[in-house]
Amino acid sequence: MSIFSYQDADYAIREDIKQAHRDYWQKLATPGNWWTGAERVAIAAETRNALSCSFCGIRKAALSPNSVSGTHDSNSNLPTAAIDAVHRIITDQGRITQVFVDQLAANGISNEAYVELAGVVVNTFSVDEFSRALGLALEPLPEPETGAASGYRPAQAESGTGFVPMLPREGLTGPEENLWPNGRSANVLRALSLVPDALKDWLALSSAQYLSVPGMANLVGQDDRSINRMQMELVAGRVSSVNECFY
C-alpha cells in the first residue's frame, strides 16, 4: 500500500498535499461522532460505487428523482437510506431538498448522521478526484479501527438557515469556541458544523488542495503554489460551473 506516496505521478506533488491525504485516510478509519470506523470506510466505498451505479444514471436522466425506483449498485451493509444519500450526493446533489433530508431522518439517518456522512463523501471524493486528475490509481481505502461512535452534538446548533442545524456565526463557546478560522465564518463553513470534526477534516484538506480560510485574504498568491490567485479562481470557477455549484 503506497499511502499516498504518489511515486508514479508525472508531476511533482507538494508534500503538504500528500500529508493531508494521509492524515485524512487515518481519520477516515476511526470512529466518528455518528458512524463507526467500519461504517465510515463503507461510506467512502459507496462514493466510488456511485460513479458507476446504473440506477443513479437512470435517476439522473429522469425529470424527477422520485419518478423512478430501483436499487443502487452496492455491496455494503450500510442502511439503504444511507446508501441512497451517498449516491445522491455524488450523482444528483443539485436535487437534494429539505423534504429528502427530512425523509432521511424519518428513516433513521438523523441530521447529525447525514452531516457526518456528507463530510466523508465530500472529503473522500476530493482525494479521489485528485488521483483521477493525475491519471493515478485510487488509493486503497484504509482498514477501519474498532470502537463506537461518540454521539457528540454541539450544544449551540440551531435551525433556520439550511436543511440541517448549524452553529451560529458568532458567540461560540466550549469545545467549539475556536472552530471558525481566525474567527471568520460563512455558510459554506457552517454547513458541516453540526459535526465539528467533519468541518475540521474538510478544512484540513481544503487548506492543502485549495486555500486556508486565512489564505483567502491573499489576493495575489502564495509562495508555495505554482499558480497565482487569479489563475486559481479561474480554475475554481470553471470547475464550479461544470459541477453546477450554485453557491
Taking the CB of residue 240, how many other CB atoms lie within 10 A of it?
13
Mean pLDDT, the chain, rounded, equals 94
Cell for 222? 502564495
97-130 residue pLDDT tens: 999 999 999 999 999 999 999 999 999 999 999 9
Q: Interhelix angle for 111-133 vs 196-209, to 10°?
A: 20
CB atoms closer than 10 angstroms to residue 63: 7
Banded model confidence at residue 182, pLDDT cuts 50, 70, 90: confident
Residue 44 scores a pLDDT above 70: yes
| Digit-coded pLDDT (tens) for 203-247 | 999 999 999 988 888 899 888 898 999 999 999 999 889 888 866
Report pLDDT for 138: 96
Q: What is the pLDDT of residue 55?
A: 97
What is the share, in percent, of the chain residues with pLDDT greater than 90? 83
**Hey, where are the domains in the chain?**
15-209, 219-247
How confident is the model over 149-160, as pLDDT tens digits? 999 999 999 999
| Higher per-residue pLDDT: 89 or 2 | 89
- The pair phi, psi for residue 40, each rounded to 5°, is -65, -40
List pLDDT tens digits, range 59-86: 999 999 999 999 999 989 999 999 999 9
pLDDT score of 247: 64
Q: What is the pTM of this model?
A: 0.95
Has residue 43 got a pLDDT over 90?
Answer: yes
**Closest residue by Cα to residue 123 from 211, 244, 243, 209:** 209
Lowest mean pLDDT among 46-50, 92-96, 100-104, 180-184: 180-184
